Amino acid sequence: MSAPLRVIDSGLRGARRNLSVTEALARGARAGTTPDTLRFQHFPPSAIIGRHQILAREVDLDWVGRNGVATARRMTGGGAIVMGPGILGWELVVARRLLPVGLGEIARTICAGAATGLSTLGVAAAFRPRNDIEVDGRKIGGTGGYFDGDHLVFQGTALVALDRRLLVNALRLPAHKLGRHGVETLAQRITDLASLLGSPPSMTAVQAALAAGVAGALGMAARPSGLSSDEEAAADAIHDAEIGNDAFVTGQDDRFGQEGVTLAGRHAAPGGLIEVALKLRDGAAEIIDQAMIAGDFFAARPRVIADLEAHLRHLPVAAAADAARRFLAENDAGFLGL
């Protein structure tokens, strides 16, 4: 008999409220009071940063202030993202014993399940290592996860009708270092269900597709339900004590300068120009948080550049060149004129 997977739509909540529910579910799972759960969440326009990031480095505070975009900080690590009405958030809180071994294989299993579910809507969605979901080489959703004791907390997004203005302006992206060319290239690497299908599907349909795909990939049986009163109370307490406070969201900014580190370079070859920007993770070690590659090149496989960007994430800068060479060689990536 398949293990049950509680499926919840917690409705539209502010970003800090949504993040407080995530933390409440994680703590409940540790305490044995929260069952295996898949939660769907809806946000107003929001810019959300990771636990150890510096708000002013990741977010254009002037722009978000002028445009009524909320800011929030997760209890966990990871990079900055935007959320909004056209972006569906989803998260799994499940027992580790139900999953494959290793976070990489877990990401592959869950993302492949999510892609299978989205494909039932009429798009050819697929998993893209390390942790993205794509359609024809263009990102349609991202994921990330971590182990919390004997449980996994795994979060994802599905781009239903993306507000590209929010994405481009709210966050300080590596693409900005490359000017208009980089921003235009970034836009070409991302798509949404509305663009692919001609009109946005209902959130209800997207949620049903994802629930079926993820539950099926895990060999579980989806069971619609809701948050318990204890979980709601725990989320309220976490919000009031930590996540909902301005001091929690801006706390890191007082300890560091506001200028982030982005390395940028360009190379003019006979066949065209290559430009690269690497946004580094905050901290002493030079670790790549995001990579952006643009240029006047023609690749043998159109998606190879996006795959290379994903491959470079989380690597030390010193290892990037050798890693890129190996990746291109192993993937038989040919470029005309470069």
Give 6-33 pLDDT, tens digit per residue: 999 999 999 999 999 999 999 999 999 9
Mean pLDDT of the chain: 90
Decide if pLDDT at 300 tops 50. yes
Strand ranges inside the chain, DSSP E: 3-12, 37-42, 46-49, 70-73, 81-83, 87-95, 125-128, 132-135, 138-148, 151-159, 220-224, 262-269, 272-280, 288-295
Nearest alpha carbon to residue 45 among 143, 194, 203, 166: 166
Tell me what the mean pLDDT of segment 30-58 comes to.
92
Does residue 171 surpass a pLDDT of 50?
yes
Structure confidence at residue 267 (pLDDT): 84
**pLDDT band (50, 70, 90) for residue 65:** very high
Phi and psi torsions of 80, nearest 5°: -80, 145
DSSP secondary structure letters along 80-116? -EEE-TTEEEEEEEEEGGGS-SSHHHHHHHHHHHHHH
Average of per-residue pLDDT across 97-104? 89
Q: Report residue 184's pLDDT band, with 50, 70 and 90 as the boundaries.
A: confident
Q: Is the dihedral of CA 212, 218, 221, 225 positive or negative?
A: negative
Residues composing the chain: 338
When pLDDT is averaged across residues 222-242 and rounded to a whole number, the result is: 98
Which residue did the predictor score with more confidence, 203 or 103?
203
Residue 238's pLDDT band (boundaries 50, 70, 90)? very high
